[in-house]
Chain A
């Protein structure tokens, strides 16, 4: 049975709950606390919370060393951010941002719990980059208060936030999230819940066509990268980017968009991707992808 409530969604965000203290969750917690929001960061183990805190401290120290942050900033983050092992505490916020691994079953479970624990007006959002917000919301009793809020890695540096409108998302939430994204120093864009949203969809041909050119031996991967940088003005070539992102991650995103669009040929993965993933040549993290990296530097 649907839990119909007349409580309108929160309009002004003050307290932000974050589920998952991994790279993304900790990053979102950091910038939110820095901009004056009260942050409640949740994870299931003390170790994970500790790791999240360490990541934030390291990032802040770097910011300070570069002269971008002051002691006041560091202190503010410290005061504004608390960690917890109780999901209930995180749910007692105006906005909850889920940032757990990209696993649909896990996300559905978490949103069901959050939906039951959170006060009526609370907005629930997911930082998913590839899963359907509509599907996540469909597992709860109040799909209208759920939206996507997709930050990019590394969160403190990347300016973009994709706000994802699920099939049943209340339009008022979108406006509130827009204001929140701007308040944490980001530029929001709004996208309908479709596979890959904007960036992960529109960027597919950058890799897909480059892989096909390589597969047809049009030229080397180095030349393709160089032409796109020199002739096109791209900061990084597709092969450099795949190495940076990780060939496994890039392949997984390609496959998920391809599957989600019922095998639309534009999104078809390339055999080169699979071979390299099979061979364990994943890019920078394994010191070998399309390019070879110095293990001491990496």
Chain B
């Protein structure tokens, strides 16, 4: 049995999936919702027996967690948890040479991963050690994946890993076709499902994952490669900027009735 801290919104698919996988595997699991919210950070230093073996950062936009480095450092003083970082929004950023987000101690126990498959109910993840990850930490992470009964694929640390990168670019292309009036979102999704057997239309898929998350993946690719190829098309940025994030806000490329939850919560 391991002790696991999940950092993410409790209503998010990723947090929920990890929570139930951890419970099923018999791990002790605790969710930290918002660590920038002072109240959720443990005031008293945690007792040794309370310290986690793993910290899984479920939230894709973890760069928004300004206190994340302090949070991890606070946990790490005596005990050294292995940190799994959702690598779909950033990857090299965590280990970048000029402005490191984490100190070297944390980076040696850092593993990037992508939980994108959870959105489709598939218990599959991709993961990648950084160039500085300690082999022992990597071995422990692999054991964790095994205990959670997820199919885990190890790849080299690459911006966006495999599925997030390929999918975000499919969405970007489909969005550019919408923006240019090539076809309607419905016809684009139908065409990709029937013409080339995709499991879902890229635009409906993007709505499920979140337009903001798709933009984050593309931003990462732009930042890491400095290539025009990866720039998110204007339509995606405008949708993300105006809260049309997909299923979770009730509207993205499609309208979703009765699911306006997160937007109302965040705007209230």
Q: Is B46 an interface residue (CB 8 A)?
A: no
CB of A159 within 8 A of CB of B194, answer yes
Option from A206, A209, A231, A236 in Cβ contact (under 8 Å) with B116: A231
* CB-CB under 8 A for A205 and B169, given A219-B155, A233-B122, A234-B199: yes
**Docked complex Cα distance between A204 and B117 (Å):** 21
B117 in contact with A198 (CB, 8 Å): no
**B125 on the interface (CB 8 Å rule)?**
yes
- State A48–B198 Cα separation when bound (angstroms): 34
- The answer to whether A235 and B158 touch (CB under 8 A), given A201-B173, A265-B228, is no
Q: Given A199-B191, A268-B229, do A230 and B122 touch, yes or no (CB 8 Å)?
A: yes
B177 touches A219 (CB 8 A): no
Q: Does B197 contact A (CB under 8 A)?
A: yes
Complex CA–CA separation, A187 to B187 (angstroms): 10
Shortest CB-to-CB span from B35 to chain A, Å, is 28
State whether A189 touches B183 (Cβ < 8 A): yes
1/0 contact string of B183-199 vs chain A (CB within 8 Å): 11001101110111111
Mind listing 12 A-B residue pairs with CB under 8 Å?
Answer: A158-B194, A162-B195, A191-B187, A198-B177, A205-B169, A205-B170, A218-B156, A218-B161, A224-B162, A228-B163, A231-B162, A233-B120
Interface residue A223 (Cβ < 8 Å from any Cβ of B):
yes
Q: Is A203 an interface position by the 8 A CB rule?
A: yes
Q: Which residues of the other chain, A, contact B131 by a CB distance below 8 angstroms?
A: none
For residue A9, give the distance in angstroms from its CB to the closest CB of chain B. Answer: 22
Please tell me if A227 contacts chain B, counting CB pairs below 8 Å: yes
Q: Is B60 an interface residue (CB 8 A)?
A: no
Is A293 in contact with chain B by the CB < 8 A criterion? no
Docked pose: A154 CA to B27 CA in angstroms: 50
User: What's the minimum C-beta distance from A13 to chain B, rounded to whole angstroms?
Assistant: 21
A104 beta carbon closer than 8 Å to chain B: no
Spell out B's residues near A (CB within 8 Å). Answer: 114, 116-117, 120, 122, 124-126, 151, 153-156, 158, 161-163, 165-167, 169-170, 172-174, 176-177, 180-184, 187-188, 190-192, 194-200, 202, 227-229
The 8 closest A-B pairs by CB, nearest first: A205-B169, A233-B199, A189-B187, A160-B194, A231-B117, A199-B195, A219-B155, A160-B195
On whether the beta carbons of A223 and B187 are closer than 8 Å, the reply is: no
Residues of chain A within 8 A (CB-CB) of B229 are 265-266, 268
CA distance A126 to B79 in the complex (A): 68
Say yes or no: is A208 at the interface (Cβ < 8 Å to chain B).
yes
Residues of chain B with a CB closer than 8 A to A266's CB: 169, 172-173, 176, 229
Tell me whether A197 and B182 are in contact in the complex, defined as CB-CB below 8 angstroms, given that A160-B194, A217-B156 are known contacts. yes
- Tell me if A210 is interfacial: C-beta within 8 Å of chain B: yes
- Docked pose: A202 CA to B227 CA in angstroms: 19
Contact across chains for B158 and A216 when beta carbons are under 8 A apart: yes
Count chain A residues whose beta carbon lies closer than 8 angstroms to a beta carbon of B.
44
In angstroms, how far is the closest chain B Cβ from the Cβ of A266? 5
Complex interface: chain B residues within 8 A of A228 (CB) = 162-163, 166
* Complex alpha-carbon distance, A266 and B173, angstroms: 8
Give the distance in Å from the alpha carbon of A85 to the alpha carbon of B181 in the complex: 40
Q: Is A213's CB within 8 Å of the partner chain B?
A: yes
Given A232-B163, A266-B173, 5 more pairs with CB closer than 8 A: A189-B190, A199-B196, A216-B158, A230-B151, A268-B229
Name the contact of A205 in the complex, choosing from B120, B172, B184 (C-beta under 8 A).
B172
Cβ-based interface call for A192 (8 A): yes
Judging by beta carbons under 8 Å apart, are B188 and A202 in contact?
Answer: yes
Closest-CB distance, B148 to chain A (whole angstroms): 15
- Give Cα A205 to B177, complex, Å: 13
> What CA separation (Å) do A219 and B152 show in the bound complex?
14
A227 near B158 (CB under 8 angstroms)?
Answer: no
